[in-house]
Amino acid sequence: MQCDIALAQSTNRWFSIPAYQLRLSIGCGVVIFDMVVICIASAFFLFRFPIGQALIPNIEAQFLFAVFYLVFAITARAFHFDKLLHFRKSASSVVLPIFYALLTIFAIKFVLHREIVNVFSMVFATGALLTIAALSLRMAVRSLIGKNSQSNLFDNVLVVDSVQVQVPAGFRTIDAHARGLEPDPDNPLMRHWAADSLQHADRVVIACNAERCERWAQFLSGSQSEIRFYVPNASGLGIFSTGTIQHDIFLKPKIALNPDQRCLKRIFDICGAIILLFLFIPLMLLTGLLVKLDHPGPMIFEQVRIGRGNRLFPLYKFRSLKTKSTDFSGQKSVTQSDDRMTSIGKFIRATSIDELPQLLNVLRGEMSLVGPRPHALASQAENQLFWEIDQDYWRRHAIKPGMTGLAQIRGFRGATDERVDLVNRLKSDMDYLRDWSIWRDIYILAATPFVLIHKNAY
């Protein structure tokens, strides 16, 4: 069955920009505005008033003020879109970071026994001007957004599953039956099609009969969207508004990262991937040459794997198997004495050098440096597909797959011949998702080199 779930975008969305990109653009614009105000104020006060030999200390103080303000503001989530929607919250998240930044500058100058009066007065003036400008901007942003325009800034999706429902304003709809979308928890292709259409949705409302709720809940496990269910009344006609949805069945992902965490993780991934590519590019070029010389065939092997939100993506590896023996489905795991491996393939698999092209997957946004390892569609343990062994398997995809992960540094590597092999990895993956932190990612990356040479690495 062909499953066409292409969605028509909202025609009244500002500049036809997707909602999440529009919110991100507004947040980044506020950051840039605040920094520009600090720069202009600093330049004005430094060159408008004579300060003589205090020029360098004043420049240092203004720079430190900008840095400390940015750190405290980010900590207070001052640029988060949820804060910008409410002026009082937004105002407090601006005023307090400015106060803390000024207090920090004063403390530093006092401890270092540096001249305080002239330097601090300049910084204080900059802080006062920033307060006025920042609050004015946030009032303007709040006024511009307005209650009537918030539907343009959030992607709300209504999935209609064979029921009658009156669609409220601000929702785009999917007619599941017309689009051929069936909530089949055991169909990874159907999961991919659904996830591809809902990947940026902030809220998904499933309008269905009561007996279909559990099936849809299983089908959408691993999604990072806020999931709600609407069951029509006995007459068969469901009428709801965005206000009454709050009282319906609600399913929110418990292990998904919030937007701030995803942003931090993405920045870490991009910086880390660029550094690692710079370090390993000579080794990658040499490996590619040896792969080509060792056995006829392509240098890079592409295989479809399951990614975040159960979306499928092409994973890159250096080819380690003979071309005619390549298993694109992943049904047969590679064993330690597998005769399908090439001569160079045995070495690059044992040392995990074959995984280095996945740095490109990281830069493309399909993978992360750290996360659950992505599996092929046909991966099995004891002749059972992974999701047939444990339905929680799909929940591991609430985060991007990684080049390395908690399971790997715990020693769970190699083939998954038995059910326990998958269960151990799945437990580690869920532990990682529940207790994620950027420091844990750094720890896992630092520990990975010590487990590259492992008895199960092949």
In this predicted structure, the answer to whether residue 64 has a pLDDT above a threshold of 80 is yes
* Domain enclosing residue 389, as ranges: 259-451
DSSP 8-state symbol, 225: S
| Confidence at residue 253, expressed as pLDDT on a 0 to 100 scale | 52
Q: 291, 321 in Cβ contact below 8 A? A: no
Same domain membership, residue 211 and residue 303: no
Q: 315, 303 in Cβ contact below 8 A? A: yes
- Read off the pLDDT band of 1 (50, 70, 90): very low
Same domain membership, residue 417 and residue 312: yes
Average pLDDT over residues 110-136: 79
Q: Which of 149, 166, 197 represents a domain boundary (last residue)?
A: 149
To which H or E segment does residue 174 belong?
A: strand 171-175
Structural domains of the chain, count: 3
Same domain membership, residue 165 and residue 139: no
Q: Which tokens go with 374?
A: 């992505």
Digit-coded pLDDT (tens) for 263-275? 889 999 999 999 9
Q: 360 to each of 103, 150, 373, 402, how far by Cα in Å?
A: 44, 36, 15, 12
8 assigned to some structural domain: no
Q: Which tokens go with 273?
A: 């991937």
Same domain membership, residue 170 and residue 223: yes
Average pLDDT over residues 4-15: 40
| Confidence at residue 166, expressed as pLDDT on a 0 to 100 scale | 79
Average pLDDT over residues 108-133: 78
Q: Which of 82, 114, 149 represents a domain boundary (last residue)?
A: 149
CA atoms within 13 A on the CB side of 169: 8
82 assigned to some structural domain: yes
281 assigned to some structural domain: yes
170 assigned to some structural domain: yes
In this predicted structure, the answer to whether residue 142 has a pLDDT above a threshold of 80 is yes
DSSP 8-state symbol, 86: S
SS3 content of the chain, % helix, strand, coil (to 5): 55, 10, 30
Strands 384-385 and 380-381: antiparallel
pTM of the model: 0.75
Q: 78, 97 in Cβ contact below 8 A? A: yes
In this predicted structure, the answer to whether residue 48 has a pLDDT above a threshold of 60 is yes
Average pLDDT, the chain: 81
12 assigned to some structural domain: no
Task: Kindly state the percentage of the chain with pLDDT values over 90.
Answer: 29
Q: Which of 221, 251, 281 represents a domain boundary (last residue)?
A: 251
Same domain membership, residue 130 and residue 68: yes
Same domain membership, residue 191 and residue 324: no
Residue with tokens 């009156």: 166
| Burial class for 361, CB neighbours closer than 10 Å (0-12, 13-18, 19+) | buried
371 assigned to some structural domain: yes
The whole-angstrom separation of Cα 42 and Cα 119 is 11
458 assigned to some structural domain: no
Same domain membership, residue 426 and residue 309: yes
Digit-coded pLDDT (tens) for 322-379? 776 666 666 666 666 667 788 888 888 888 899 999 999 999 999 999 999 999 888 8
Digit-coded pLDDT (tens) for 439-452? 999 999 999 998 87
286 assigned to some structural domain: yes
Same domain membership, residue 274 and residue 227: no
